Chains A and B, each alone.
Chain A
Amino acid sequence: MIIKQLSVFVENKPGRLAEITALLAEAKVDIRALSVADTNDFGILRLIVNNPDKAEETLKSHGYTVALTKVITIGIHDQPGGLAGPMKILYENGISVEYMYAFISKTVNTAYVILRVEDNEKAIEVLQKNGVTLVSEEEVYSM
């Protein structure tokens, strides 16, 4: 249920994202989803890839500061209100979301949302109890 997200420290300088994506392509790592959080000085690139360990090794060997962060992925119906349900469940159970981002796949009518919360175990428990679809590690990496 818990999947590994690659978190990379990047300064706000031109060409950084191009370099990182090129390095991953060279290492034959496929990117499933990504998001960037940035401030005036720096950014954090968050990536879901098919082979997080290899991606980590590749970027580290090129001098990047990288961490593997544990996140969860839920599947939602790709329609208005699809995300509102799970969000409400988390809120009502006192679980705050640090950040999240969505991606779609080849599966028709389904979107996926990556969630970064403080307590993964608790989030999984309440989401499952309320019938939200959680996506396994293998599923995400092999999409």
Chain B
Amino acid sequence: MGNYFNEKMETMSRDEMLALQSERLVDTVRRVYDHVAPYRAKMDAIGIKPEDIRSVEDLSKLPFTTKQDLRDNYPYGLFALPPADVAEIHASSGTTGKQTVVGYSKADLDVWGEIAARAIVAAGGGKDDYLHVSYGYGLFTGGLGLHYGGQKMGATVIPVSAGNTKRQIQIMQDFGSTILACTPSYALYLGETVCDMGVQDKIHLKAGIFGAEPWTEEMRREIEQRLNIKAHDIYGLSEIMGPGVSFECAEQTGMHVNEDHFIVEIIDPDTGEVLPDGSEGELVFTCITKEALPLIRYRTRDISMLSRKPCSCGRTLVKMAKPRGRSDDMLIIRGVNVFPSQVEAALLQVGGKGTAPYYQLIVDRVNNLDTLEVQVEMDSSFFSDTVRGIEEQEKKIAKQLDFILGLSAKVTLVEPKSLARSEGKAVRVIDKRKLHD
């Protein structure tokens, strides 16, 4: 199969790609205007007609779509197809409030398979591979997305789904899994368990495709070493399609966006202004081939940046950096952008376990200076019977935080289950500065 699943699309010249995107965008805008009442209302409200959109250059004239639009039109209000033509439904739980529902036509499912197939091939997959899918199957798009991709590119798919780690490892040994697809934290945990069981020699994995949650380069190295594989990042969100919106090649320096299906932009999250390549900002995607739910300029809230530097793999598709965090969660402390996910990464690295303990960021302002305290629930991996031992752990965490955030923080270990949870979910940030303003 070689390096590419779809060489023509993955290595297309920039001019050809822009022409293709423009043609598909014009068609999509016409379809949503005609068939999706909320979009028509939004466009009418700012006086934009489908004929005003003639190429990719006109994209910024269109209004954004947000998660709130999906909630307001729950469940099917933004669908562009009648129910008879919708082949499959997925949903994301969402961290706040009602879940969002997404739909796919037969053709959409085919595209989904195609983009996930490109990701598997870019990770070194071929027809002889056994693709072990440990993402959850169901309404969540992780499991079925990789499943469709594996079927499309001709690998043998093993739909293990999530859970039961010992059984997962047994299946890997018995069925000869060669490519693993799951979340990076689960990969880390699987790797740890494989090492504990002493069965590294009986596992024949060569590559992994990991996504659906933030992870760091340190985690990548750890996973690669424990499972003796090359670990590839994959990005996607159900609103746009699911896993495969972008994917990593052998270079492992960012994820190629499948631009023949999605137009990607980076915007300033505060002003909505489009930023040039190389600037950090919020990722925005426009679906240009989707039939059932073609979202226009969907704001992901993920903070990333784009690069068009030529890639050694030969793909001409733009690369996006691994998202640093969510714009909703971003805090500015002493002028530094801080995401709770970075704190989580630091804790994962210090604890060396697959999951981080509960933590909370407490931001305050003392004498006009921002202060950051990170409270972490005590965990067996941090505990010691000596005061010195515990203080050393606190220092270790503080050092790692300083390294990742570029900011010094006070670390306090607290009793398990003592940090506030709201309806079972963690409350990650308490910003007391607002009280003083």
Contact = CB atoms under 8 A, between A and B. Distances in A.
Given A42-B390, A65-B378, A10 B415 contact: yes
Interface string A3-45: 0010101110000000000000000000000000111011010
Interface in B345-396: 378-380, 383-388, 390-391
A10 B390 CA distance: 12
A81 interface: no
A11 B415 contact: yes
Contacts of A67: 380, 383-385
B389 to A, nearest CB: 9
Interface residues of B, number: 18
A116 B387 CA distance: 13
Contacts of A116: 385-386
B412 interface: yes
Nearest to A6: B385
Given A9-B415, A10-B415, A41-B412, A65 B383 contact: yes
A98 B417 CA distance: 29
Nearest to B379: A65
A9 B383 contact: yes
Interface string A54-65: 000000000111
Nearest to B394: A41
Contacts of A9: 378, 383, 390, 413, 415
Interface string A106-137: 00000000001000000000000000000000
A101 interface: no
Nearest to B410: A41
Given A10-B415, A63-B417, A65-B415, A44 B380 contact: no
Contacts of B408: none
Contact of A65 (B387, B388, B391, B416): B416
A89 B414 CA distance: 38
B385 A69 contact: yes
A95 to B, nearest CB: 16
B60 interface: no
B93 interface: no
Contacts of A38: 387
Nearest to B413: A42
B362 to A, nearest CB: 13
A65 B414 contact: no
A11 B418 contact: yes
B380 A37 contact: no
B415 A44 contact: no
A44 B379 contact: no
Interface in B272-328: none
A44 B387 contact: yes
B385 A44 contact: yes
Interface residues of A, number: 20
A28 B417 CA distance: 25
Interface string B395-433: 000000000000000001111111000000000000000
A108 B405 CA distance: 60
A42 to B, nearest CB: 6
Contact of B385 (A5, A39, A41, A64): A5
A141 B391 CA distance: 31
A64 B379 CA distance: 9
Contacts of A103: none
Contacts of B417: 63
Nearest to A7: B385
Contacts of B413: 9, 41-42
Given A63-B416, A65-B416, A44 B378 contact: no
Contacts of B380: 65, 67
A98 B389 CA distance: 11
A37 B378 CA distance: 16
Interface in A78-109: 98-99
Contact of A11 (B383, B385, B414): B414
A10 B122 CA distance: 50
Contacts of A46: 385
Contacts of A42: 390, 413-414
Contact of A64 (B384, B390, B412, B415): B415
Contact of B416 (A37, A41, A64, A98): A64
Contacts of B388: 98
A44 B416 contact: no
B223 to A, nearest CB: 27
A24 B418 CA distance: 21
B292 to A, nearest CB: 46
A65 B415 CA distance: 7
Interface in B92-110: none
A41 to B, nearest CB: 6
15 contacts: A5-B385, A7-B385, A9-B413, A37-B386, A42-B390, A42-B414, A46-B385, A63-B417, A64-B415, A65-B380, A65-B383, A65-B415, A65-B416, A67-B380, A116-B385
Interface of B: 378-380, 383-388, 390-391, 412-418
Given A65-B383, A65-B415, 9 more contacts: A9-B383, A9-B390, A41-B412, A44-B385, A63-B415, A63-B417, A64-B415, A65-B379, A116-B385
Q: What are the 9 closest A-B residue pairs judged by CB atoms, nearest first? A: A7-B385, A69-B385, A65-B378, A9-B378, A11-B415, A63-B417, A63-B416, A65-B383, A37-B387
